[in-house]
Amino acid sequence: MLRNARGERTLVQVALGAGISPETLRKIETGRIATPSFMIVAALAEELALSLDALQGTLRRSSAEKLDVAS
């Protein structure tokens, strides 16, 4: 979702705009940081003009899909 939301903007542009390092955003996007802090999620949501509700819905769907695949 984050990659799609940043559109034409580079990872570096979005990360710096959100006040995090590009490496942190890279790790979040690739799943190496599975549970980023709320402050990071909120900063990324603001930078990408996403609502926290939309992010929560996406995460719930993603978690449910993973559970379906595992069972």
Q: ∠ at Cα 51 (10, 29), nearest 5°? A: 40
User: How confident is the model at residue 65, as a pLDDT?
Assistant: 62
In this predicted model, what pLDDT tens digit does every residue of 11-66 receive, in sequence order? 999 999 999 999 999 999 888 988 889 999 999 999 999 998 887 777 666 656 65
State residue 70's pLDDT score: 60
Contact 18, 46 (CB under 8 A): yes
The larger pLDDT score, comparing residue 62 to residue 9, is at 9
Using a CB cutoff of 8 Å and minimum separation of 24, what contacts does 25-32 make? Answer: 28/2, 29/2, 29/3
What is the reported pLDDT for 56? Answer: 77
Tell me how many domains the chain contains. Answer: 1
CA atoms within 13 A on the CB side of 60: 6
Domain holding 65: CATH number? 1.10.260.40
CB count in 10 Å sphere of residue 32: 10
pLDDT in the model for residue 26: 94
* Domain region containing 52: 2-70
